[in-house]
Structure 1
Amino acid sequence: MSTSPAVAWAAADPYAAALRTGRGPLFLRRSDGWLLPLEVERWCARADPVDRAVLDRCEGAVLDVGCGPGRLVAELAARGRPVLGIDVSEAAVDHTGRLGGPALRRSVFEPLPGEGRWGTVLLMDGNVGIGGDPAALLARVARLLCPGGLLIAETAGVDVDERSEVQVVDSADGRTGGGAFPWARVGTPALLRYARGWDRAGRWTAGGRRFVALRSRGAGSGTGTGSEPPNRTAVISGQRRRKPPATGPVA
């Protein structure tokens, strides 16, 4: 019987060690031995131009699911945007806080602040694979967003639709890692197939990375005055636990 995804990922000592040092190597290893390299150095760096262009598209209050070491949360916080990162890894949440970004140690499938009132949800760096069931993840994100809210997801660089059990390992022989957990690799065509009940809001490639924007269906637009104030209220409570918000949209 496999370990729950949140417990297995959080207990993956190689992941915590990589975040502390800011470098790999680090891999997701399938049961058949296939390895997916993880881009630790990029994740631990500041937001790059491709990241910043994605963040320019965000609307309202932003929830970064699987925020990792927090480069996107920190960038949005520096812009004065209402934002919260969530991650099951204590090391990731701590790193995000050191960058000045608000974050909670929480799984996306657990109760979260501001449910149904987020303007944008981010699933970056392959996080569309969380839980190994893209359809279930999309359904959960739809419940987190306000009516007409925006999901921005980074998809795999190839046309793939794959579910597997994986471990986080820090060597090519895969001898070091935590428990196994379900994960998915999803390309753009596959994600669009799973996105029943969503409206397509864009797809693009930048810096060799691929992205899809989807809009939840509902009466709101995701940017109107009817949904944004509750978003701000929900995020402020999370921010105050780590850093008082700067003057600007949050205040």
Structure 2
Amino acid sequence: MGPRPRRPRPGPAARRPDVGGPHRRGPAAAADRRGPHRAGPAGAVRRGHARRRGTGRGLGPADPLRRPAPRPVRGGRVTAQLTAPATRTWQADPYVDALRAGQGPLFLRRRDGWLLPLDVERWCAGPDAADDTVLARCTGPVLDIGCGPGRLVAALAGLGHTALGVDVTPEAVDRTVRAGGSALCRSVFDPLPREGGWATVLLVDGNIGIGGDPAALLRRAAELTAPGGSLLVEVAAADVDERVEVHVEDGAGGRGAAFWWARLGARALDAKAEAAGWTRCDSWQTAGRHFSHLTR
């Protein structure tokens, strides 16, 4: 979305919330009790990775993305087409405007009025101290699910990793490329390169909430990760396990389409991860952010 300027020198990039389009689920779970309008600092809410599953092992004999994931090259790009409804949703979403501007205000609002501020300015900066703790735990080829505009993908490329971001927003993919990373404009539930071969998979900035179905997302991550590989997940600070219908708004009347989202604390993640074949081997917190390291 938006023009694609010539690539400047790699620099900090925004990381968008991976918010999504409609996801067919039941009623939302109860919210946590911290009040109707405050929920503390937000992780990213990022894209609508609709569950359009293919074979899971390739993109078809004529599709060049069937090749193994390319090593990131500054300015390199891997892309795929979104469906028309998904594309229209993101073109109209205030998240895209915030992404282009590199700043908020931007909020996630639940149907009952609960409001979560989204930390756009942090996503638009380079990796911070908390991000560095994630980067330090990455090994081998890395897949960043809901990469946003690519601050972590670009940093990983700079560290010499083969790294690929996946995001459904074209503007996010463009910014990832401009930052020096490689990205695929596609849902995590679509066929992806190197399935079953990623040494590290990332679900940071709240992206465990993609699609409002963490159990399905954890199973999908297991399909993507190599045996013995790692899944690094950012969780909510609160002991919460909720699935809610939300929309993004900008505080000035701009409002995106409704979609399903989830938030998990560490305890809820452990239970869902175990059912999907993951084991927690480590957890840590820094700068007010909380993470879990899962292995399989």
For 1:28 and 1:65, how far apart are their aligned partners in 2? 20
- For residues 134 and 231 of structure 2, the distance between their equivalents in structure 1, rounded to whole angstroms, comes to 11
RMSD, aligned CA: 1.5
1:183-222 alignment runs, 5 A limit: 183-196=261-274, 197-216=277-296
Classify the secondary structure of the residue corresponding to 1:92: helix
- Is 1:167 the counterpart of 2:186? The answer is no
Which of 29, 38, 61 is equivalent to 2:118?
A: 38
| 1:178 corresponding residue in structure 2 | 256
**Alignment length, in residue pairs?**
213
Tell me the equivalent position of 1:23. Answer: 103
- 1:153 equivalent to 2:233? Answer yes
1:129-162 deviation per Cα after TM superposition (whole angstroms, max 9, x unaligned): 0010111110000000001110000001111101
Distance in 1, Cα, partners of 2:92 & 2:145: 18
> Out of 163, 169, 191, which is 1:111 matched to?
191
Question: Partners of 1:9 and 1:120 in 2: how far apart?
Answer: 30
Match of 2:172 among 73, 77, 92: 92
- Of 19, 22, 25, 1:3 maps to 22
Contact 2:203 2:232 in 1 (8 A): yes
Asked whether the equivalents of residues 9 and 89 of structure 1 are also in contact (C-alpha less than 8 Å), the reply is: no
CA distance in 1, matches of 2:215, 2:288: 25
| TM norm structure 1 | 0.81
Task: Write the distance in 2 (CA, Å) between the matches of 1:192 and 1:156.
Answer: 13
Give the structure-2-normalised TM-score.
0.69
| Superposed displacement of residue 10, structure 1 | 2.9
Secondary structure of 2:134's counterpart equals: helix
- The answer on whether the counterparts of 1:12 and 1:168 sit within 8 Å (CA) in structure 2 is no
Structure with bigger strand share is 1
Read off the aligned partner of 1:190 and give its amino acid letter: A
Q: Which amino acid aligns with 1:187?
A: G
Contact 1:11/1:179, CA 8 A, preserved across alignment: no
Is structure 2 residue 240 aligned with structure 1 residue 123?
no
Q: Return structure 1 stretches of 4+ with deviation > 2 angstroms.
A: 2-13
- DSSP 3-state at the match of 1:143: helix
Give the superposition deviation at 1:3: 2.7
Relative to structure 1, the CA distance from residue 12 to residue 161 in structure 2 (aligned partners, 3 Å threshold; closer, same or farther) is: farther
Q: 2:93 touches 2:257 (CA, 8 Å); kept in 1?
A: no
Once the 2 structures are TM-superposed, how far is the Cα of residue 12 of structure 1 from its aligned partner?
Answer: 4.8
Distance in 2 between residues matched to 1:9 and 1:159, nearest whole Å? 32
Q: CA deviation at 1:200?
A: 1.4
What is the percentage of aligned positions where both structures have the same residue?
59
For the residue of structure 2 that corresponds to 1:195, the secondary structure is: helix
Per the TM alignment, residue 9 of structure 1 is displaced from its structure 2 partner at its CA by: 6.3
In the alignment, structure 2 segments of 5+ residues that lack a partner are: 1-20, 24-47, 50-85
Higher share in helix: 1
Are the equivalent residues in 1 in contact too, given 2:147–2:166 (CA < 8 A)? yes
1:132 to 212, 226, 234: 212
Q: Per the alignment, in what secondary structure is the counterpart of residue 105 of structure 2?
A: coil
Structure 1, unpaired ranges of 5+: 217-251
